[in-house]
């Protein structure tokens, strides 16, 4: 690295004007970097605001179709879907996940009818929106989440979503071996082009509370998820998780949550030659909204700065509830 000294080198020269700052900018954020998570509910003409996620709602099918059209108009390339399953359709074994007429599958078809191939559809593969106990898998008598029997159900869930038209299935359950089993099943069922975005480094985080409210599992959760989600103290383990999922057939990997784990994003990006995504989770979103409401910062600036941090750390894209706002700002 060449040495530089003042005044021959003045680093402020290139920052002196807007055109020069744009010319020398190292990291670029565009609407094409965003994935917009949406919550699906039953009914017609339904918009259910989520108290712990100000500005975010659950939408019935007609509302989901309108949000999809909005995303296309804004240049957002992909939607991530999460269902709020009715209590009477929940069960100990999460069987509703395998129903070809469940909320998720109907939402996929609704978006496809509204937008054709103009937008990608990413679907969550996990059982917590469908179980009465709020865990991401099947449990034994002691409440321990069973790995291998859960994987069998996850395979069926992923196939169900692929048959409905999902472009990307995103296993968020953190069971060992599920990526390989899902990839093999997709190949066998002639869904070779369905992508897998693995939640490869998903931490047992305190930032998920509002999301669990949104999908209706928060009040149901018995115990915690620390036996399968990662310990926030660990980073090398995240690399092992990512390596296993890539070897089993993941097309891309995700780090979740986002901002508190940017070091993990950078480690994964530097180690592996695959697209890395991050989820700016519900608690992160709610904190920005609370800070803005308290006058601690300008909402628009907070949103764009945090999203830019994801890109600078190495993300190919970001799942964020701020996607429509960010896209409008970026579109000018």
Give the pLDDT of residue 217. Answer: 79
Say which of 225, 256, 269, 311 is annotated catalytic. Answer: 256
Q: Helices (DSSP H) in 27-140: which residue ranges?
A: 61-74, 103-115
Give per-10-residue mean pLDDT for the chain (332 aa): 84 95 96 98 95 95 98 98 95 97 98 97 96 95 96 98 98 98 98 98 94 83 92 98 98 98 98 96 96 97 98 98 98 94
User: CA-to-CA distance for 218 and 278, rounded, in angstroms?
Assistant: 22
CA angle 299, 302, 303 (to 5 degrees): 85
List, in sequence order, every residue forming a beta bridge with 125; answer none if it has no partner.
171
3-state secondary structure of 24: coil
User: What is the token pair recorded at 275?
Assistant: 């697209």
Please compute, for residue 118, the number of CA atoms within 13 A of its CA located in the half-sphere on the CB side: 15
Give the pLDDT of residue 219. Answer: 80
Distances (CA, A) of 196 to 113, 140, 154, 237, 242: 23, 28, 13, 21, 13
Say which of 202, 225, 269, 311 is annotated catalytic. Answer: 202
Is the previous residue joined to 84 through a cis bond, with omega within 30 degrees of 0?
A: no
- Strands (E) located in the chain: 34-40, 47-49, 57-59, 78-83, 120-125, 168-171, 195-202, 252-256, 276-280, 317-320
User: CA-to-CA distance for 303 and 332, rounded, in angstroms?
Assistant: 15
Domains of the chain, with CATH numbers?
29-330 (3.20.20.70)
List, in sequence order, every residue forming a beta bridge with 43; answer none if it has no partner.
none
Residue 13 φ/ψ region, left for φ over 0, alpha for ψ in the -120 to 50 degree band, beta for the rest:
alpha
Annotation says 256 is catalytic: yes
């Amino acid at each position: 690295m060449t040495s530089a000294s003042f005044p021959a080198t003045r680093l402020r020269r290139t920052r002196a004007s807007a055109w020069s700052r744009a010319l020398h900018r190292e990291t670029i954020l565009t609407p094409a970097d965003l994935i917009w998570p949406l919550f699906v509910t039953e009914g017609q003409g339904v918009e259910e605001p989520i108290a712990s996620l100000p500005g975010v709602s659950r939408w019935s099918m007609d509302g989901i179709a309108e949000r999809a059209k909005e995303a296309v108009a804004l240049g957002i390339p992909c939607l991530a879907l999460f269902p709020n399953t009715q209590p009477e359709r929940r069960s100990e074994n999460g069987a509703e996940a395998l129903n070809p007429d469940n909320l998720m599958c109907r939402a996929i078809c609704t978006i496809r009818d509204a937008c054709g191939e103009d937008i990608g559809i990413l679907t969550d593969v996990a059982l917590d929106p469908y179980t009465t106990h709020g865990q991401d898998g099947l449990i034994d008598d002691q409440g321990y989440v069973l790995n291998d029997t859960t994987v069998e159900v996850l395979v069926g869930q992923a196939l169900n979503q692929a048959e409905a038209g999902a472009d990307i299935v995103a296993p968020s359950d953190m069971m060992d071996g599920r990526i390989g089993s899902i990839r093999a099943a997709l190949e066998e069922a002639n869904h070779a082009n369905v992508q897998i975005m693995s939640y490869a480094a998903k931490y047992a985080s305190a930032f998920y509370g509002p999301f669990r409210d949104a999908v209706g599992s928060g009040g149901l959760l018995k115990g915690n998820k620390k036996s399968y989600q990662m310990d926030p103290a660990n980073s090398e383990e995240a690399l092992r998780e990512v390596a296993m999922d890539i070897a089993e057939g993941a097309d891309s990997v995700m780090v979740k949550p986002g901002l508190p784990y940017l070091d993990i994003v950078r480690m994964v990006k530097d180690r592996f030659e695959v697209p890395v995504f991050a989820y700016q989770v519900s608690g992160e979103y709610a904190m920005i909204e609370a800070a803005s409401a308290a006058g601690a910062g300008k909402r628009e600036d907070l949103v764009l700065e945090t999203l830019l941090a994801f890109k600078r750390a190495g993300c190919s894209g970001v799942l964020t509830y701020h996607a429509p706002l960010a896209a409008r700002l970026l579109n000018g």
